[in-house]
Amino acid sequence: ETGVTQTPRHLVMGMTNKKSLKCEQHLGHNAMYWYKQSAKKPLELMFVYNFKEQTENNSVPSRFSPECPNSSHLFLHLHTLQPEDSALYLCASSQVAGITGANVLTFGAGSRLTVL
């Protein structure tokens, strides 16, 4: 496999469920990101991991919990979500975070989440 792969592609969950989104990159990158995309809104950065260390938590509610066990894998654990959390969740990677020229993003296809 090449690029950035995300699973599942679609997820429907109730407000009391616990689920996880998975992202894997095969590009040898050292930075991974979670973005949220809602209709007609700009992409919102949620979390950044650079060399497995979390470097950005963009005031995201604690019902979203990221995990980065190594530079190639990134998870987003979901717990007691709200209907307004329904959105497309995009994972991305770059060579390195925070350095001009090495921060071009490659995105995964996204996980479309619906919270009932």
Binding site for another protein (CB under 8 A): 40-43, 45, 48, 50, 55-56, 58, 90, 97-98, 100-101, 103-110
Q: Which is nearer to another protein, 85 or 93 (CB)?
A: 93
β-strand pairing of 10-13 with 111-115: parallel
Smallest distance, Å, CB 18 to another protein?
26
* Phi, psi (deg, nearest 5) at residue 7: -140, 150
Q: Which is nearer to another protein, 13 or 105 (CB)?
A: 105
User: Which among 66, 75, 83 is positioned nearest to 17, based on CA atoms?
Assistant: 83
β-strand pairing of 73-79 with 44-50: unpaired
Smallest distance, Å, CB 63 to another protein?
22
Side chain identity at 24, as an amino acid letter? Answer: E
Smallest distance, Å, CB 80 to another protein?
27
Q: What distance in Å separates the CA atoms of residue 55 and residue 82, rounded to the nearest whole number?
A: 26
Q: Which is nearer to another protein, 81 or 90 (CB)?
A: 90
Smallest distance, Å, CB 97 to another protein?
5
Tokens of 18: 């616990």
